Amino acid sequence: MRTVIAAAVSVVLALPSANAVAQSGDAERGERLFNQQCKICHTLNKDGANLIGPNLFGMFGRKAGAAKGFAASDAMTKSGIVWDDKTLGEYLKDPKGRVPGAKMVYAGLKRQEQLDDVIAYLKKATQ
């Protein structure tokens, strides 16, 4: 299962994406990106299921690793992170580098506009 997911994720990451001018995040583009790259592991709705990763409803302003009913890693719960635009941007850019030892198998979003877009969407969809 793990290998299948990792393979699916790397295929997605290898797809070319449109060159957009950097600007503040576009929630609609962020939604497409979330559906392609994150939805396989995360739900966003209130009381949504924990999948491979935790449900993300209410995450803004909350401590890392505190999603209800999800067994977060020690690395995540002890990271001291509180989720906001800045910490989320740092984490999603380089999950393994920002929280070494955490269990999210995801390479990271390297382009600033993709980060901005997905954060704009998460903000809308998780509160």
Q: Which residues of this chain interact with ligand HEC, rule CB under 6 A?
A: 5, 9, 37-38, 40-42, 52-54, 56, 59, 64-67, 72-73, 75-76, 88, 92, 102-106, 109, 118
Nearest approach, Cβ of residue 34 and ligand HEC (Å): 6
CB of residue 60 vs ligand HEC: minimum separation in angstroms? 10
Minimum distance from CB of 26 to ligand HEC (Å)? Answer: 15
Please give the Cα distance from 90 to 108 (Å, whole number). 10
Contact in structure between 86 and 111 (CB atoms under 8 Å): no
| Contact between 61 and 126 (Cβ < 8 Å) | no
With respect to ligand HEC, which residue has the nearer C-beta, 16 or 61? 61
Q: How far apart are CA 49 and CA 10, in angstroms?
A: 24
